[in-house]
Structure 1
């Protein structure tokens, strides 16, 4: 390897990903492979001798420019004989006629980088017509010549991030010459991903521009980064959301709502076939939101690469090898998909690895339904013997799919160590999290668990009971197999929680910080299938009922009120005292002030929500949760209800309390 690196042309940009390089080149650990995103490398050595990281390879390979060389050091086949992922990847390499130089091959026969770069017109920073169209679309958006929302999608390497930087620089320059500044906000999953955007803008602005991390100024004009989880006030004149497929949908909704309310234009970009996954889910699901809220949204798709040639062999190889381009079944094939027309099938790892069409169908559906479906998920599907894949197949195509993992049956000593916080064994999410953060006793770790890791229903077949049918089948199969507890974890939303509780599951834990992947609070649900399982569930459920009100008044204060209300449903609580009932009735009739009734109101609202929320109007439910349970400021509750001041909120609260269901 050192000899080959020494033969590279002078000035070659080379990076070594993986173990320590034997030569003086840039070294990037596997864990930081995504730091190469946006770079232009001439040569990349990817050292996978100790094991292939699918995510790292997917990220690093995108840094090679056209004409560059990827030198891939694979582990010996005999060192990983059970890795179906590695076996399949080797097959893809052979099918693509990738050379495998033997240990005796002369280094002079190894490929070296050759020069290739697309050329734009003289004086034009855009390298393709597609990129030029994207820049003009952003300018039209900012200058009010188009709909207030723009969506730009592309496969990676099409120059969409650079296009945002070019457009920003042009807008800042025009605003400066006109004497007025423009405030351009930009966000992305992380600031480091915006390096190409800021570098492109900086290179096009005059020397007077001031550049600091996450901020570029030219006179009164500013290009500024904002974290994706916080909308600034005031909203910038123009908002650019780069790599939106990597940002939780709830945060995207917040940016969209804020810009629409402030009458500010906003552009979203998304990578469709990227190593981080989620692009297809973004394109389908967020497009539905836009179609409902902004029907005249402009959509632009960039096809022509700027960093390599059309039909680049490395791009095609990575797409096949890591299934970056996996597609779910066509919508038309799911027109009449229903539980009665589908066949439930369980697939072994060997079946999936040996059937490219089936594997692509299932992985494509998972990618379509879930943000952040990565190559590592494919690797786990093929290599993890504890993971099971079950699908509802409609005429041979996946209409719904679930990934399952068996957990628990931990030894008594290990359970005590987990409960004490001394050990956290991998692959046992449900028992470990419930012993550490819930009220599961140490003996609970010895029970048998089955976790629904992922579940997805084809978008064209949703709303027909396929998800319900699949979960019900999974529950019955787990019961027949002697599983004690079946559960799942997901980024909490009220509709998702209603789905799971509708199948007999109950919430037993909620994370105190929003998930980075979904933007929502992680909710864990559980269902007991045996007497022993019920014995483990009861203390967990009781503990959840005790802690939930306290969590909602502090770390979960910002949780959406519909989700917060749903978490209470089904809790078993002691009935209200007679005195509390009298105080609540007096408040509802307007005879007592709010502060004097707080303890009784708090107890009454919790029990009312636990009984049912179906009889409550939405504004009544939200007022009770936000003010009485979460203790949000009066002005925040008033703004949410669309009223002004404390007095009308009190009026809503009195009516809401009067409509609470009787706790028995």
Structure 2
């Protein structure tokens, strides 16, 4: 097929033309003409009116616009925004998307107006700027927990999601986000746009694109597993050449990746089949792929000059994310010389989650790495308490925490490692020890805005420092926990106690995750009491201090049995 040209109308929307022509036996469909209000199709006009109803109607009834690419959903958001801003000078609309470029169509149709601003998704939650209406474009490429946070913050929201496309997967979006919508805003509405604007309906090129890029990849239906079912699951490494010729297996495997990760894109299909050093592992049930792991070979850089340039931040060789991060950011200059496998993606069928398939894939990967004489297996991902708990349960060790966050997800990247050789063990141990020594400074500085629950999970994953200093601080700590010593005077010893005792006390169930987060936010991130009162929903500063005293006492119970019994005065009521 020859080239395709896109002719743009005055409204900025186009219809595809070119040498391919229409399908045989059909007359070419004319490009829809924009109506007087700017809509280029009946579907788009209906979507614009739905957005206006959200803005003018009752609060807490969000709208979801869902469509394939080329149906004009982003333009509909922009046209509706332009109308609203023309009606009232003081109206304020915030636009968000994975990045500003993803919202270019929306912003272009809305036009320049002082009441319209783009704000990154994470900044919406952190700063909570005022808005009459929030428009979320390409919502499928934004983590569902972050979108759920917007439901709590803003009464009028419109989400636009691509069903199949480079911006994420609308099917995965609906699976992950529909429950949140039902729980928090049961009056939400779904509007689907079916009529193409950029090309004719039923254009064969669109169908070809779906099939060639696996944009319609889907996971198979599976009955709830039994012990017999689970016993029949096998794990293996797949040959990529064979996989490329097996469309059924490839579609099922890619469907798992699409369903599991909000940023899986067709470019990942190219990486999976053609990426240098990429390995594909899968678990099968009755021949069907039900879990997969994608890994990439990294490291093994023998050139000392290149390793020095990586350490100094002057070079960032493609395809070596793990060794580069460990060298340039964790200060481990020897890391690029070691050979590693990095877990790029791991996904399990929803019906088989929490049955150990991910652990089996990781065990298979580590066995292969050891047999090959590699040094490390590792991974990097946006930190959440749940993900950290999964990888730590597999025995992987925390090696690095990124100090900047992803603009779309708001998450900080972490690196975890598992050693496969003596050299790998030395590097993993050194990385863990160095991070443990620096985490206090990081939490008080560049990680001060990190969610305290995540910070507590990070601390729990690191070995505690020496307990020697606690003996000297014991009198002060008991005076705070059991008497009336002030919080300000107790912050320094409380920080030491938190570092030494938090992980063990949390694992033993003596304190809750929220109590651990409060300790971290107060003693290590050094947030002001007024901020802590609001964040942890305390009734006031006195109640907050009492809660801190109680949690401190629990940390002290096992830390220094009997310590302070003859050194402090019991608290008076």
Q: TM-score band (shorter)?
A: 0.7 to 0.9
1:498-513 matches, cutoff 5 A:
498-513=389-404
Larger deviation: 190-199 or 640-649? 190-199
Q: Distance in 1 between matches of 2:116 and 2:280?
A: 46
Going from structure 1 to structure 2, the CA distance change for 1:234 and 1:418 (only over 3 Å counts) comes to closer
Residue in structure 2 matching 1:564, options 434, 448, 455: 455
TM-score (norm 2): 0.86
Tell me what 1:478 maps to.
369
Q: Distance in 2 between matches of 1:588 and 1:438?
A: 36
Q: Distance in 2 between matches of 1:483 and 1:293?
A: 48
- 1:272–1:283 Cα contact (<8 Å) kept: no
Residue in structure 1 matching 2:44, options 131, 152, 170: 131
Q: Distance in 1 between matches of 2:355 and 2:377?
A: 24
Tell me what 1:605 maps to.
498
Tell me what 1:93 maps to.
none
* Superimposed CA distance per residue, residues 187-235 of structure 1 (whole angstroms, 9 cap, x where no aligned partner): 2233444444344445xxxxxxxxx3xxx26xxxx44433333225553
Residue in structure 2 matching 1:187, options 96, 116, 135: 96
Tell me what 2:194 maps to.
303
Residue in structure 2 matching 1:383, options 262, 274, 290: 274
- 2:6–2:17 Cα contact (<8 Å) kept: no
> Does 2:230 align with 1:280?
no
Q: Distance in 2 between matches of 1:431 and 1:194?
A: 34
Q: CA RMSD in A?
A: 3.1
Q: What secondary structure sits across from 2:75 in the alignment?
A: helix
Tell me what 1:341 maps to.
232
Going from structure 1 to structure 2, the CA distance change for 1:468 and 1:612 (only over 3 Å counts) comes to farther
Tell me what 2:17 maps to.
67
> Does 2:141 align with 1:246?
yes
- 2:6–2:198 Cα contact (<8 Å) kept: no
> Does 2:478 align with 1:585?
yes
Tell me what 1:102 maps to.
none
> Does 2:63 align with 1:154?
no
Q: Distance in 2 between matches of 1:517 and 1:184?
A: 19
Going from structure 1 to structure 2, the CA distance change for 1:199 and 1:439 (only over 3 Å counts) comes to closer
Larger deviation: 384-393 or 458-467? 458-467
Q: What secondary structure sits across from 1:400 in the alignment?
A: strand
Q: CA deviation at 1:641?
A: 1.2
- 1:279–1:371 Cα contact (<8 Å) kept: no
Q: Distance in 1 between matches of 2:81 and 2:447?
A: 37
Q: Distance in 1 between matches of 2:543 and 2:59?
A: 40
Q: Distance in 1 between matches of 2:105 and 2:320?
A: 40
1:434-473 matches, cutoff 5 A:
434-442=326-334, 444-473=335-364
Q: Distance in 1 between matches of 2:128 and 2:148?
A: 16
Residue in structure 2 matching 1:230, options 112, 119, 123: 123
* Superimposed CA distance per residue, residues 387-418 of structure 1 (whole angstroms, 9 cap, x where no aligned partner): 00001122333211100122233326244443
> Does 2:513 align with 1:618?
yes
> Does 2:241 align with 1:369?
no
1:317-332 matches, cutoff 5 A:
317-329=208-220, 332=221
Residue in structure 2 matching 1:116, options 13, 25, 30: 30
Q: Distance in 2 between matches of 1:146 and 1:233?
A: 17
Going from structure 1 to structure 2, the CA distance change for 1:540 and 1:412 (only over 3 Å counts) comes to farther
Q: Distance in 2 between matches of 1:70 and 1:622?
A: 60
Q: What stretches of structure 1 of length at least 5 have no aligned partner?
A: 16-37, 42-64, 72-95, 99-113, 203-211
Larger deviation: 517-526 or 464-473? 464-473
